[in-house]
């Protein structure tokens, strides 16, 4: 059941001013947080980590799962994808960069500044909508200065308020974050319930990008006390094993093993119970290029028809693995990852509901 939307005057920042008492801001945050329980921000503080590919695939697969419910005669929700970045690569990933409604982020920038409704391109896939992004979002830092002058610290909630107004129409919302620019990062993290963080290499700068996530958590804690790390994803690694010729035992080897070890240690030191997901999105540059060139996701490029889907795995169904063709294999990686993502979210939500009922 969709969460009831608060009355319209409540979903506005217009009554805030610089110097508004913190208690009033906290009450507003408490009121909108229940509307944003399934907002996932894909974020790492370093570029080239696979954020956009991960965001597009997660949104696409979530929508495919909802579409399957509709086909089965069950209640189905919708999925919304948005990118708070001037590159606009999510549009290219989904093949809608040339869509007539692509305003290159103008309506999104206006929504953040003035509280107006953004343009939404509907049904880029069954049950999947996207808010266009692009070059117009380069003005976000200046926009945030103007909003802060008007409403003070509440300016950080501009994106959260926009999404709260839309939340009744969507079961899932996925945000693709830029790696560097502070203002859109903080807007996304003030709106999200979960942060999904990909790491693409085992070096210190890539792992350190996950540390940058922690810094942003601290910077937005007063405006989003619910923000939590969903987990880290190893992205673009060769998942290799060494087989002992005598015993036949298989042992994981390669950079992905070292990256996993470093990430597990980092999360433990930070006191986080977030996992490093077991699924590794394999290295396949040719597939990535083909996906972006075609405007298709990996499982669409592979045109896989064999095997079971992620939502069937969630129900405990059994089936054969997809063929080992490269695009199909990458698509399978994303489906396996989504099983882990949804399982973690549902587990946490169930525990929270049980605690609230006590």
Q: In Å, what is the CA distance from 89 to each residue of 34, 98, 260, 280, 292?
A: 30, 12, 28, 22, 9
List % helix, strand, coil for the chain (3-state, nearest 5).
Answer: 50, 15, 35
Q: Give yes or no for residue 1 having a pLDDT over 60.
A: no
Going 104 to 110 to 111 to 113, the CA torsion angle's sign is positive
Other Cβ atoms closer than 10 A to 286: 11
Report, as an integer, the average pLDDT of 284-289.
Answer: 84
pTM for this entry: 0.89
The candidate with the shortest Cα–Cα distance to 121, out of 137, 103, 106, 140, is 103
Give the lowest-confidence range in 82-91, 112-121, 240-249: 240-249
Q: Give yes or no for residue 63 having a pLDDT over 60.
A: yes
**Ramachandran assignment for 224, one of left (phi > 0), alpha (psi -120 to 50 degrees), beta (any other):** beta
Q: Are 227 and 272 in contact (CB under 8 A)?
A: no
For residue range 203-238, list pLDDT tens digits in order: 556 666 666 677 788 889 999 999 999 999 999 888
Give the lowest-confidence range in 123-127, 176-180, 299-303, 344-348: 299-303
pLDDT of residue 59: 98
Going 248 to 253 to 259 to 261, the CA torsion angle's sign is positive
Q: Give yes or no for residue 115 having a pLDDT over 50.
A: yes
Q: Give yes or no for residue 111 having a pLDDT over 50.
A: yes
Report, as an integer, the average pLDDT of 20-30.
Answer: 95
Greater pLDDT, 147 or 215: 147
Q: Which of 3-7, 214-218, 296-300, 302-306 has the highest mean pLDDT?
A: 296-300
**Ramachandran assignment for 297, one of left (phi > 0), alpha (psi -120 to 50 degrees), beta (any other):** beta
pLDDT of residue 246: 78
Greater pLDDT, 138 or 294: 138
Q: Name the helix (H) or strand (E) containing 169.
A: none
Greater pLDDT, 205 or 53: 53
- Could you tell me the pLDDT band of residue 14, with boundaries at 50, 70 and 90? very high
Report, as an integer, the average pLDDT of 175-197.
Answer: 94
* Mean pLDDT (the chain, rounded): 88
For residue range 303-345, list pLDDT tens digits in order: 644 555 666 767 777 754 444 458 888 999 999 999 999 999 9
Report, as an integer, the average pLDDT of 82-102.
Answer: 94
pLDDT of residue 310: 63
Q: In Å, what is the CA distance from 324 to each residue of 61, 302, 327, 331, 333?
A: 19, 10, 8, 10, 11
Query: What percentage of the chain carries pLDDT values higher than 90?
Result: 63
Q: Give yes or no for residue 46 having a pLDDT over 90.
A: no
Q: In Å, what is the CA distance from 149 to each residue of 18, 19, 222, 301?
A: 7, 11, 19, 47
199 HSE (CA, 13 A, CB side) = 31
Domains of the chain: 17-357 (3.40.50.300)
């Amino acid at each position: 059941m969709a969460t009831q939307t608060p009355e319209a005057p409540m979903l506005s920042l217009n009554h805030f001013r610089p110097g508004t008492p913190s208690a009033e801001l906290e009450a507003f945050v408490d009121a909108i947080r229940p509307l944003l329980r399934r907002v996932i921000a894909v974020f790492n503080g370093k570029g080239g980590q696979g954020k956009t590919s991960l965001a597009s695939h997660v949104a696409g697969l979530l929508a495919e799962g909802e579409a399957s419910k509709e086909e089965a005669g069950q209640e189905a929700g919708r999925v919304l994808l948005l990118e708070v970045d001037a590159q606009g690569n999510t549009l290219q990933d989904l093949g809608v960069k040339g869509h007539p409604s692509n305003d290159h982020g103008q309506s999104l920038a206006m929504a953040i500044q003035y509280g107006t409704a953004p343009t939404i391109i509907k049904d880029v896939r069954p049950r999947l909508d996207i808010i266009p992004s692009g070059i117009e979002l380069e003005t976000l830092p200046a926009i945030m200065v103007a909003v802060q002058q008007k409403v003070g610290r509440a300016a950080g909630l501009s994106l959260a308020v926009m999404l709260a107004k839309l939340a009744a129409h969507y079961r899932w919302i996925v945000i693709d974050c830029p790696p560097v620019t502070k203002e859109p990062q903080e807007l996304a993290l003030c709106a999200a319930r979960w942060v999904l963080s990909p790491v693409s290499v085992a070096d210190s700068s890539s792992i350190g990008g996950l540390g940058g996530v922690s810094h942003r958590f601290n910077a937005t804690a007063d405006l989003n006390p619910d923000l939590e790390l969903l987990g880290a994803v190893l992205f673009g690694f060769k998942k290799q094993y060494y087989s002992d010729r005598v015993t036949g035992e298989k042992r994981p080897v390669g950079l992905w093993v070292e990256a996993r070890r470093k990430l597990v240690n980092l999360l433990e030191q930070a006191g986080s119970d977030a996992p490093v997901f077991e699924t590794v999105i394999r290295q396949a540059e040719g597939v990535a290029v083909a996906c972006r060139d075609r405007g298709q996701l990996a499982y669409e490029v592979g045109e896989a028809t064999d095997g079971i889907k992620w939502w069937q795995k969630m129900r405990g169904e059994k089936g054969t693995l997809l063929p080992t063709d490269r695009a199909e294999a990458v698509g399978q990686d994303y489906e396996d990852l989504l099983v882990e993502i949804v399982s973690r979210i549902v587990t946490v939500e169930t525990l929270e509901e049980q605690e609230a009922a006590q």
